Amino acid sequence: MWEPHYIKTYKAIVSQFTDIIKAQFFAHVHSIEFRIPLISEQRAQEEAEGTELVPLFMSAAISPIYNNNPAFIIWDFDANTYEVLDFTVYGTNISSDSQELDWRSLFKASTAYGVNSLRTTELNAFVDRIAADSALLEQYYYNSKAQSYLQSSCVDVACQSKWLCTTQWYTSSEDFEACVKELETQRSS
C-alpha cells in the first residue's frame, strides 16, 4: 500500500497539472474520507506555481466488510470550471433489524463539515476544527462509515489521533505513524 517512490512520482505529476486536475477520486478503503496535501507541500506548490494542490477523496463502498453501511456518493461540480463543489452520501442502514434496504441521503459534505467548498483551504480549516472539537471529529468518523452503528466510537486518544492524521496526504507509512505518535503524545498531556 505504501510505496513512497510511486507516491512521490504521482504527487509530482498531479502538481504539474493543477489547472486541469480538479480533484482526485479513490476507493478501496470502504470509508468516506479525504486527504489534503501537507501544509509544507501546499506552500511549496503555491510558491512555485501559484496554484493549489487538490485533495484526494475516498468514496463510499457498497460492500459492508468493515462495519460500514453500504453507500455511494453523488458529486456536485461546476459545469464550466469542473471544480468539485460538494457531495452527498446516500446509504442504507444494515445495522437495523429491517430486511428492506432503505436508501436515503445520509449527509451532505458542506452541511456536515461546515465548508463552503471542497477546496484544500476549506478542508484545512475543517481539519483545524475537528482537531479542537472531539464531538465534530467523532461525527466525521461516524460519517466515514456511512453512519453505521456497527462501527465502534472514536473517542479515545489513539483513534482520534489516527483519524486526524488520516486527513493528511502522507508519502510513507513512517510519516503517518510519526504523525499519530506525535498527536497521541500531545493529546494525552
**12, containing H or E segment:** helix 4-16
67, 145 contact by CB (below 8 A): yes
Is the CA virtual torsion 120, 173, 61, 68 positive or negative? negative
138, 153 contact by CB (below 8 A): yes
Q: How far is CA 32 from the centre of its chain?
A: 6
Q: What's the CA angle centered on 42, arms 85 and 74, to 5 degrees?
A: 20
Predicted local distance difference test score (pLDDT) of residue 64 = 86
Residues 133, 139: Cα–Cα separation, whole Å: 10
Domain residues for 62? 4-188
In this predicted structure, the answer to whether residue 181 has a pLDDT above a threshold of 70 is yes
| Short-list 88, 57, 70, 187, CA closest to 133 | 187
Q: What separation in angstroms does the CA of 69 have from each of 21, 140, 160, 176? A: 30, 15, 21, 26
C-alpha cell read off for 28: 478501496
Query: Any residues with CB less than 8 A from the CB of 19 and at least 6 apart, and which?
Result: 51
Q: What is the pLDDT of residues 57-109, one digit of tens each?
A: 999 999 988 889 999 999 999 999 999 999 999 999 887 677 788 899 999 99
Predicted local distance difference test score (pLDDT) of residue 25 = 95
Q: How many domains does the chain have?
A: 1
What are the phi and psi torsion angles at 112 (to 5°)? -65, -35
State the CB neighbour count (10 A cutoff) for residue 181: 12
Region 35-43: mean pLDDT is 79
